[in-house]
């Protein structure tokens, strides 16, 4: 919370390099909770880490801890974050795997792999969210520019959506009425010169509508992944049409498309986490 990122390396080094037991092999049991926390002989720590129920528990605790840290560092992915903090978070994310691997050099590799896999998902989440935040701030400028919005709307009205639907339907097999409704909603939202927060609400509603039939079903995660693929394919087809027409607002559409794709990914991973009772980091850590 105080952004003292460099202390994390020291904390890991201290914990995973616990003091060895006394020379006669005995272990003194102290009545002090502080002493019990501080002294865990290395051989006993290694033995604990080899016990499968402890590994499962340890992994679950790490998912909860790192999810809490993400929410402390980036509580709102769309809210402006100072560039200095963004860079500090990215540098922190870049260092995490190396710090943990070095701290655990004397531990069995299968234990290290479990710990590093979760911290890797944590680092990747920080990188993705800071990138998403950067895109959001760049997109705000576009969405607040009336002339750019008007140009985007003009170019979008020239897109041959019938052709887009014809080509995409064979691959995606989406309901034509759903696609047409999303197209019209997108144009209306653009025409209203909506703010980024209003666009975020619209995207959230799209996810809710599409995934509602799968709510409570074991197939929910698969349906969510399929939706992301279809969303990406359709948006690629629209960008392709704009490119071939040399649309004046292509740069603005490209930026908006990148942001909306990233934000959709963010929304979907949180919906899957909610549906499965996991943290988003645990969902991403499955990969």
Average pLDDT of the residues in 124-132 = 96
pLDDT digits (tens, 9 = 90+) for 219-233: 999 999 999 999 999
Q: What is the pLDDT of residue 21?
A: 46
What rounded mean pLDDT belongs to the chain? 89
159-194 residue pLDDT tens: 998 888 888 888 888 888 888 899 999 999 999 999
Of 164 and 37, the structure prediction assigns the larger pLDDT to 164
Q: Where are the beta strands (DSSP E) in the chain?
A: none
pLDDT of residue 32: 56
- DSSP label of 217: S
pLDDT band at 33 (very low <50, low <70, confident <90, very high): low
Q: How far apart are CA 71 and CA 66, in angstroms?
A: 9
DSSP 214: G
**pLDDT in the model for residue 45:** 86
pTM of the model: 0.87
Q: Is the pLDDT of residue 34 over 90?
A: no
Q: How far apart are CA 238 and CA 160, in angstroms?
A: 9
DSSP 3-state assignment of 27?
A: coil
User: Cβ(247)–Cβ(253) under 8 Å?
Assistant: yes
CA distance 164 to 224: 22
Confidence (pLDDT) at 145: 93
Lowest mean pLDDT among 2-11, 119-128, 173-182: 173-182
In DSSP notation, 143-168 reads HT-HHHHHHHHHHHTTS-HHHHHHHH
- In this prediction, residue 35 carries a pLDDT of 58
CA distance 222 to 260: 20
Q: Is the predicted pLDDT of residue 28 greater than 70, yes or no?
A: no
Judged against a pLDDT cut of 90, whether residue 124 lies above it is answered with: yes
The mean pLDDT of 254-270, rounded to a whole number, is 95
* Among 204, 205, 206, 193, residue whose Cα is nearest residue 153: 193
Residue 22 has pLDDT above 50, yes or no: no
Structure tokens at 7: 């202390």
Of 20-24, 48-52, 187-191, 257-261, minimum mean pLDDT range: 20-24
**pLDDT-based confidence at residue 285 (cuts at 50, 70, 90):** confident
Structure tokens at 163: 């052709």
Task: Average the pLDDT over 192-207 and give the result.
Answer: 95
Mean pLDDT confidence for 88-112:
94
| pLDDT for residue 26 | 46
- DSSP structure class, residue 244: H
The fraction of the chain above a pLDDT of 70, given in percent, is 92
Strands (E) across 47-130 are located at none
282, 273 in Cβ contact below 8 A?
yes
């Amino acid at each position: 919370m105080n952004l003292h990122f460099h202390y994390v390396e020291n904390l890991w080094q201290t914990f995973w390099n616990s003091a060895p037991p006394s020379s006669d092999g005995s272990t003194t049991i102290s009545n002090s909770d502080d002493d019990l926390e501080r002294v865990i002989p290395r051989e006993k720590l290694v033995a604990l880490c080899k016990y499968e129920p402890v590994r499962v528990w340890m992994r679950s605790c790490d998912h909860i801890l790192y999810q809490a840290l993400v929410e402390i560092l980036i509580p709102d992915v769309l809210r402006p974050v100072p560039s200095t903090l963004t860079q500090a978070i990215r540098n922190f994310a870049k260092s995490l795997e190396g710090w943990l691997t070095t701290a655990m050099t004397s531990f069995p590799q299968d234990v290290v792999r479990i710990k590093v896999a979760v911290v890797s998902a944590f680092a990747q989440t920080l990188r993705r969210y800071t990138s998403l935040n950067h895109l959001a701030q760049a997109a705000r400028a576009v969405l607040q520019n009336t002339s750019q919005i008007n140009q985007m709307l003009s170019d979008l009205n020239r897109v041959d959506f019938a052709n887009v639907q014809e080509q995409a339907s064979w691959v995606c097999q989406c309901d034509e009425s759903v696609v047409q409704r999303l197209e019209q909603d997108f144009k209306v939202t653009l025409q209203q010169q909506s703010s980024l927060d209003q666009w975020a609400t619209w995207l959230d509603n799209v996810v809710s509508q599409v995934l509602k039939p799968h709510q409570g079903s074991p197939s929910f995660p698969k349906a969510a992944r399929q939706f992301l693929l279809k969303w990406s394919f359709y948006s690629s087809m629209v960008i392709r049409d704009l490119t071939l027409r040399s649309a004046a607002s292509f740069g603005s559409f490209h930026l908006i498309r990148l942001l909306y794709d990233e934000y959709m990914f963010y929304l979907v991973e949180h919906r899957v986490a909610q549906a499965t009772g996991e943290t988003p980091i645990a969902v991403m850590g499955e990969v």
